[in-house]
């Protein structure tokens, strides 16, 4: 195993904001990423939140097979760190993970369905952490066209009232879409998005945020979730390229030196790559692996290669 330097970027680690970091859960559809990021910043009134991208938003929290692992992998760690949790969950109309327009023909039918899914997701989270303080806010984004102009209408589920309407033009889908898998650490989110956009030379990518990057793909239980996260973009949207990005400084490597960390995460990345290549061999998927070494004042991005 060897590595090649791709890029060195300046980096200053942000300080933990007063009141802690909140969690924002939304769909990983790249076409809505910027719009949903702007909404979360507007409703939270801050940029300090952990963004979790799930196919279908609330869907995996409610799935009878996936929800136990999802809840404990993605949410328990935040409760352990903070002692309580304030979360925002957002579903949207026309979501491919739910079947989109092929399943729903009536706007109100689809809205009612998602309202129920969102309420169930909050119930499942509260049930999973009895005695803990969870404050979960639910929202639904509805796309509509009026006089030739597209809009997104954001509805607060508890009151069923429209709280925001913004102009929105749905980007066209391209077969060159990519999937990026990385950590959901709020500290490195902005730096990693800038690197991904520059390295991939496109804004058109699905971003999957796992607690520790490729670890979920290598975990025996976590592998059960691979189809939930990857099937929609690969089998329905034509995605053929995956970028796996792991970072240094995670709790499991805190006592390792620089070279030991690279060896550890490099092996994790190549193992995850092999699993994805086997699982999607019929779709001719290409998987690239990158290791982000976080240093004082900068991040070195390394391409991880097999000998």
Is the torsion defined by CA of 272, 273, 278, 279 positive or negative? positive
Q: CA of 38: how far to CAs of 21, 32, 210, 276, in Å?
A: 17, 10, 21, 32
**Are the beta carbons of 292 and 192 closer than 8 angstroms?**
yes
Residues 6+ apart with CB under 8 A from 37: 51
Is the alpha carbon torsion for 195, 199, 205, 209 positive or negative?
A: negative
CATH of domain 2-13+173-305: 3.40.1050.10
| Residue 223 token pair | 């592998």
Kindly give the confidence (pLDDT) of every residue in the chain, 307 residues in length, as a single tens digit, with 9 standing for 90 and above. Answer: 999 999 999 999 877 666 666 889 998 887 888 899 999 999 999 877 888 888 888 998 998 888 877 787 777 666 555 556 789 999 999 998 888 778 888 999 999 999 999 999 999 998 888 877 789 999 999 999 999 999 999 999 999 999 999 999 887 655 556 888 887 677 887 888 889 888 887 767 777 877 778 888 998 877 888 888 888 788 877 888 899 999 998 878 888 999 999 999 999 999 999 999 999 999 989 999 999 999 999 999 999 999 8
Q: What is the pLDDT, as a whole number, of residue 181?
A: 87
Q: What is the structure's pLDDT at 165?
A: 98
Start-end of H helices in the chain: 33-44, 59-62, 67-70, 77-82, 107-128, 189-200, 215-218, 226-231, 258-279
Kindly list the domain boundaries of the chain, sorted by start residue: 2-13+173-305, 22-167
Residue 307 neighbours by CB distance under 10 Å: 4
Within 102-212, where are the H helices?
A: 107-128, 189-200
pLDDT at residue 260, as a whole number = 95
Query: CATH for 22-167, among 2.30.30, 2.40.10, 3.40.1440, 3.30.1330?
Result: 3.30.1330
pTM listed for this prediction: 0.80
* CB burial string 50-87: b at 16+ within 10 A, e below: bbbbbbbbbbbbbbeebbebbbebbbeebbeeeeebbb
């Amino acid at each position: 195993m060897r590595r090649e330097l791709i890029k060195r970027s300046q980096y200053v680690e942000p300080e933990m904001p007063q009141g802690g970091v909140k969690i924002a859960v939304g769909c990983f559809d790249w076409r809505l990423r910027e719009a949903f990021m702007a909404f979360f910043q507007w409703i939270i009134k801050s940029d300090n939140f952990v963004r979790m991208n799930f196919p279908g938003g609330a869907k995996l929290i409610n799935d009878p097979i996936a929800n136990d692992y999802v809840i404990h992998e993605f949410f328990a760690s935040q409760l352990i760190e903070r002692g309580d949790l304030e979360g925002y969950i957002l579903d949207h109309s026309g979501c491919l993970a739910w079947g989109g327009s092929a399943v729903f023909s009536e706007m109100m039918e689809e809205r009612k369905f998602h309202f129920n899914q969102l309420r169930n997701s909050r119930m499942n989270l509260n049930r999973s952490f009895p005695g803990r303080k969870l404050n979960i806010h639910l929202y639904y984004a509805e796309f509509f066209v009026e006089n030739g102009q597209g809009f997104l209408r954001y509805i607060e589920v508890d009151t069923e009232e429209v709280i925001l309407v913004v102009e929105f033009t749905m980007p066209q889908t391209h077969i060159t879409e990519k999937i990026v898998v990385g950590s959901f650490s709020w500290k490195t989110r902005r730096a990693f998005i800038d690197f991904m956009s520059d390295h991939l030379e496109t804004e058109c990518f699905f971003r999957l945020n796992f607690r520790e990057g490729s670890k979920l793909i290598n975990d025996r239980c976590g592998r059960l979730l691979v189809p939930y996260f990857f099937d929609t973009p690969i089998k329905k949207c034509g995605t053929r390229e995956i970028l796996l990005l792991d970072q240094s400084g995670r709790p499991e490597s805190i006592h390792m030196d620089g070279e030991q960390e690279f060896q550890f995460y490099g092996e994790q990345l190549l193992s995850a790559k092999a699993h994805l290549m086997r699982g999607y061999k019929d779709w001719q998927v290409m998987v690239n692996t990158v290791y982000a070494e976080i240093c004082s004042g900068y991040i070195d991005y390394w391409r991880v290669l097999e000998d």
